[in-house]
Amino acid sequence: MSDRTFADSLSFLYSLGHELKSVKWDLARMRVLLAEIGSPHLAGRFIHVAGTNGKGSTCAMLDSSLRAAGFRTGLYTSPHLADPRERIRIHGEDISEAGWVAAFTTVHAAAERLLAREAVDAHPSFFETVTAMAFLAFADADLDYVVLETGLGGRLDATNVVDPEITVITPIDFDHEAFLGSSLTLIAGEKAGIIKPGRSAVFAEQRAEAFDVLSRRAAEVGARVLRSDEWSVGHLETGRYGSGFTLSGQGTEIPLRCPLAGVHQVENARTAVAALHALGVAVEAIQRGIAATTWPGRLERFAGTPDIILDGAHNPAGARALAAYIKKFFADEPVRIIFGAMRDKAVEEVAETLFPLAAELILTAPLQPRAIAPESLSGFAEGKYRTAPDIGTALAMVADPPMATFVTGSLYLVGEARAILSTRSTNPVAAFTPRLQ
């Protein structure tokens, strides 16, 4: 319908069901849908990124650096924090509502035609539809590069229909075991599915069993392997709100300032640099691009009294990274943790990692049907805790007593907190400015 609104499109997309529940482990429907809209995924140059943790940050660094080099870029990521348009970014900006509606109208009409011809078994899922919309929007925008993040896994992910210039695998850990397998070997096998014949593949540092799987896949298809650890890290200086370091490799030295907090971002930056250097991006553009990178909801600071830091640590690896950050930079002061989680996550392991670090714990829940009730989380809390029915109530409790507060456990919770905090604060960039050696 030509008069469809943005709200109409969202209403229909959400009616398709939750992304995980409605995922289809078969690319056939996606390929038929894309063919029906003119195969927009065959246009452009793609950088395809999979992994468990660090995918989004790495994608953001890649996109920012390519734009700093003068390229017109597209960036596709998931999930979103507040607005679904965050998933489709064109040259650094969320797709417009008009652009979103135009893409949705085209893809939905194609799906209806396919259903009428019985060419598909059901309407494409939420993620398949939005992925097709992204391909269409990127093709229409005439971009130089598209940075494409997988949604879940890789081998059968709806994004895995492209022939990328280069693939990137960030650190692999446990997450979504019900879908990807219960061992790192199985999970790595799914991630390795994006590695393409004759293309370069960049591997972040991996556990041995994951690296072995990735290497075997690369050898089977004749992909050239580039390892992030071929770049050494020197002159490392870290702070609460960023880091500075020098990467040395391939006969090149690159002093960098990374505004994304957490020591784990050094590896994400190193992985991005390995890919960017392979693509021939100039050192100066890499430096400017990484220094300008933003990635909301991941150790994102909202200044105040006290500071509130948002971090979507929704799986064990993410929780370990957040715990390392708190231990390193908040060892001498008490912290409060506001925690809410979804039922399909490894809540016990995440809670065991984070809860002991909290001088005060507030248990709450995102406004999602899959959320765990705050009272049900209390079984993981050994000390004192308070409960709040929602994040708005929880945030109203943080002034007494004053202490640095972390909102974590679910990206949905982080998104809800961010929407509230954004109306209160200009969210100034933190004061840490590392030296460039």
DSSP for 311-370, written as a single string? E---SHHHHHHHHHHHHHHSTTS-EEEEE--BTTS-HHHHHHHHGGG-SEEEE---SSTT
Q: Domain 298-421 falls in which CATH fold?
A: Protein-Tyrosine Phosphatase; Chain A (3.90.190)
**Which CATH homologous superfamily contains domain 6-291?**
Mur-like, catalytic domain (3.40.1190.10)
Sign of CA dihedral 366, 78, 125, 116: positive
Tokens for 147, please give them.
């940075």
Distance in angstroms (rounded) separating the CA atoms of residues 50 and 194: 8
DSSP for 217-253, written as a single string? HHHHHTPEEEEGGGSEEEEEEEETTEEEEEEEETTEE
Q: Distances from the Cα of 239 to the Cαs of 165, 170, 292, 414, in angstroms?
A: 35, 23, 17, 22
Partners of 337 in the β-ladder: 361, 406
Sheet containing strand 252-258, strands side by side = 232-239, 242-249, 252-258
Pairing of strands 360-363, 386-387: parallel
Instruction: Using alpha carbons, select from 167, 240, 172, 238 the residue that is nearest to residue 206.
Output: 172
**For the chain, where do the domains classified as CATH 3.40.1190.10 start and end?**
6-291
Main-chain dihedrals φ then ψ at residue 132, nearest 5 degrees: -65, -40
Runs of H (alpha helix) within 238-301: 264-278, 283-291
Q: Residues 6 or more apart from 79 whose CB is under 8 A from it?
A: 19, 87, 411
Helix (H) or strand (E) holding 118: none
Task: Give the other-Cβ count within 10 Å of 424's Cβ.
Answer: 11
Report pLDDT for 423.
84
Report pLDDT for 3.
67
Report pLDDT for 136.
98
Partners of 48 in the β-ladder: 148, 167
Under 8 Å between Cβ of 278 and 65: no
Report pLDDT for 23.
59
Q: Residues 6 or more apart from 35 whose CB is under 8 A from it?
A: none
Angle of CA points 386, 388, 392, to nearest 5°: 130
**For the chain, where do the domains classified as CATH 3.90.190.20 start and end?**
298-421
| pLDDT by residue, tens only, the chain of 437 residues | 456 799 999 999 999 986 555 556 689 999 999 999 999 999 889 999 999 989 999 999 999 999 999 999 999 999 999 899 999 999 999 999 999 999 999 999 999 999 999 999 999 999 999 999 999 999 999 999 999 999 988 999 999 999 999 999 999 987 655 556 568 999 999 999 999 999 999 999 999 999 999 999 999 999 999 999 999 999 999 999 999 999 999 999 999 999 999 999 999 999 999 999 999 999 999 999 999 999 999 999 998 878 999 999 888 889 999 999 999 999 999 999 999 998 877 899 999 999 999 999 999 999 988 899 999 999 899 878 999 999 999 999 998 888 999 999 999 999 999 999 988 754 544 433 333 32
Report pLDDT for 430.
42
Report pLDDT for 425.
55
Report pLDDT for 182.
60
Report pLDDT for 433.
38
pTM of the model: 0.92
Task: Give the other-Cβ count within 10 Å of 333's Cβ.
Answer: 10
Report pLDDT for 67.
98
Distance in angstroms (rounded) separating the CA atoms of residues 248 and 260: 20
Distance in angstroms (rounded) separating the CA atoms of residues 374 and 387: 6
Distance in angstroms (rounded) separating the CA atoms of residues 296 and 307: 16
Sign of CA dihedral 46, 23, 1, 107: positive
Report pLDDT for 152.
86
